[in-house]
Structure 1
Amino acid sequence: MTSTTESASLSEFDRDITITPEGDDFTGTMSDGWRVGGGINGGFQLSFIGNAIRSALPDHPDPVAVSAYFVSPAVAGPARAAVRPLRVGGRTATVAADLKQGDDVRLTVLATYGDLAGFPTDDVRTTAEPVSLPPRDQCVPNTMAPDEIKQMAPFTQRFEMLFDPDEVGWAVGEPSGRGQISAWFRLADDREPDPLSLLMAVDALPPVTFDLGLMGWAPTVELSAHVRAKPAPGWLRLRHRTRNVAGGMFEEDCEVWDSTDRLVAQSRQLALLPR
């Protein structure tokens, strides 16, 4: 239980993922501030249920691998997380968890958790190239979005996002067709990134189909996220890409790089094309 004084000192993100043990489950309230259109953002849902998993596994506080299936749209209001540890080992634990509102399952998750502080850090071999972005003062801020977009998707006001100016043609009706969107990213309140917030970051950018000229909500079917390291303080750099649109669906690959050029999170999701 978080006291009123403690809650007031928390960042917006931490306040909104606050959960309370209730029997074998955890309860909390998902804020309308994380809504996109008619539903709560999927990445925020992952952080919300991820906080419940972390609370159930005090010796394994960090998400390592999370596979999530989005069963029905989550809405603002009370929510319950049911966490079922399947195996708790020395280095990692495997759990299943469901996010529910009333009798409806919103999200079902299978995850591996551990303590990233104890993972080896002296052997990093990465052939991936860090996301290259212009200086932040040369990028396009999300605060420039029209008021109607801010009202339709208040989620976008929960963080600072500075887009690569070469990849925002979609915002003025001139998508590049490359299927790529990149941006600087930082949570509101200057809240520093951590493994739990990375679960939200991998789903923070607009759907990459915007860059293909396909605007609108793109419901996620499944999302798999890998958290590779604790991020260093400072701005993150995000990049979404797609290479295959087929059968009314598309894949969206995300990379998250921290301020030290470390690849700290990766994800792939399968989503429906915007209606």
Structure 2
Amino acid sequence: MAQAAQTAQTVRTDQAAQTGRAATGDSEFDRDTAVVRREPGVYDAHLSAGWTILHAVNGGYLLGLLGRALGDALPHSDPFTLSAHFVSASTPGPAVIRTQTVRAGGTLSTGQASLYQPDENGQEVERIRVLATYGDLDGLTQDVRTSATPPVLPPLEQCVGPADAPGLDLSRTWAILGRLDIRLDPATVGWALGDPSGKGEVRGWFSLADGRDPDPLSVLATVDFFPPTSFDLGLPGWTPTVELTAHIRCRPAPGPLRVAISTRNLAGGFLEEDAEVWDSADRLVAQSRQLAKAPR
């Protein structure tokens, strides 16, 4: 099995080189989510400033980072479900991830992980804590019974990216935009022109900017890469995540992803966001729900 996986990786690397795309394992996402095992269950990491919004590190990037550490610490390598509580805002710089195996079974294993950063006094401050279950996505049954349908999007070339909204230059405060290729459905970008629809919907195409094909770890991060639905509600500003739960349903096919995010209820200063991620083979590869604080 290990030899087959290595052969498949070699093929993907050769194909990526021919098309000018980054290969899985050799892209900016992989380098910036790398962890170094200090001792069993403990990993050193460096949070890259390239994945920040304003001055805080993006939550999806953090999910990828902790997801990689858990994939190394647990007997199984593929995330099935992950629930994250964002305790405090993460900032670029050194961090340590401490993991614990809760249960190691034959087909599923469960673990928890926390990411810490030093404060001005050198004391560790917890930033994010996750509980996750891992398994083998290639071992799942192919039986699918669903009423879910992929989002209907205009062709990618008819959707809009940051460069198409010169009056709304987010690149100065959203460094993460340089790492992502997001093309939004024009029907959901009225907020960028000062005319939000009020529906609380965001839809679009997604790829990593260097062309790296999706895998379970990058899909885990993708659920929190899009602009918040609060923008479409006419509420621009910081929308910090309180808790996020993601489910990875299958290994994604190569090619761009389609992402649809919606919120139905803003109350008490909080809103929920439900996300679906579909691959190029029209399969639902990930779902998530998060609770976030609405912008003031």
Whether the TM-score (by the shorter chain) exceeds 0.5 is yes
**Residue 262 of structure 2 is aligned with which of 224, 241, 244?**
241
Alignment partner of 1:134 is 2:166: no
CA apart distance, 1:177: 0.7
2:251, 2:163 → 1: CA distance? 28
Deviation per CA, 1:147-205, whole angstroms, max 9, x where unpaired? 85101011122111111011110001000111100010001211000000111100011
- Asked whether the 8 Å contact 1:42–1:203 carries over to 2, the reply is yes
- Asked whether the 8 Å contact 2:47–2:95 carries over to 1, the reply is yes
**What does residue 222 of structure 2 align with?**
201
1:139, 1:149 → 2: CA distance? 17
Q: Which amino acid aligns with 2:180?
A: F
The aligned length equals 266
TM-score, normalised to structure 1's length? Answer: 0.94
Deviation per CA, 1:114-173, whole angstroms, max 9, x where unpaired? 11011112x011101111100011111233355851010111221111110111100010
**SS of the residue 1:250 aligns to:** strand
**Residue 46 of structure 2 is aligned with which of 29, 33, 36?**
29
- Asked whether the 8 Å contact 2:103–2:110 carries over to 1, the reply is yes
2:195, 2:145 → 1: CA distance? 38
Runs of 4+ in 1 over 4 A off after TM superposition: 145-148
Alignment partner of 1:265 is 2:283: no
**Residue 62 of structure 1 is aligned with which of 78, 82, 87?**
78
1:137, 1:148 → 2: CA distance? 20
- Asked whether the 8 Å contact 2:200–2:264 carries over to 1, the reply is yes
1:96, 1:136 → 2: CA distance? 38
**SS of the residue 1:190 aligns to:** coil
**What does residue 77 of structure 1 align with?**
93
- Asked whether the 8 Å contact 2:182–2:207 carries over to 1, the reply is yes
2:152, 2:173 → 1: CA distance? 30
Pairing of 1:31-180 with structure 2 (within 5 A): 31-57=48-74, 59-102=75-118, 103-121=124-142, 123-146=143-166, 148-180=169-201
**SS of the residue 2:219 aligns to:** helix
Comparing 25-34 and 146-155, the one that deviates more: 146-155
**SS of the residue 1:200 aligns to:** helix
2:220, 2:178 → 1: CA distance? 17
- Asked whether the 8 Å contact 1:228–1:264 carries over to 2, the reply is yes
Gaps of 5+ in 1: 1-6
1:195, 1:80 → 2: CA distance? 23
**SS of the residue 1:183 aligns to:** strand
**What does residue 18 of structure 2 align with?**
none
- Asked whether the 8 Å contact 2:162–2:169 carries over to 1, the reply is no
**What does residue 19 of structure 1 align with?**
35
Deviation per CA, 1:209-268, whole angstroms, max 9, x where unpaired? 100000011010000000000000000000110000001000000000000110000000
1:182, 1:199 → 2: CA distance? 17
Alignment partner of 1:187 is 2:203: no
Aligned residues: CA RMSD: 1.3
2:31, 2:39 → 1: CA distance? 21
- Asked whether the 8 Å contact 1:33–1:154 carries over to 2, the reply is yes
**Residue 10 of structure 1 is aligned with which of 14, 18, 26?**
26
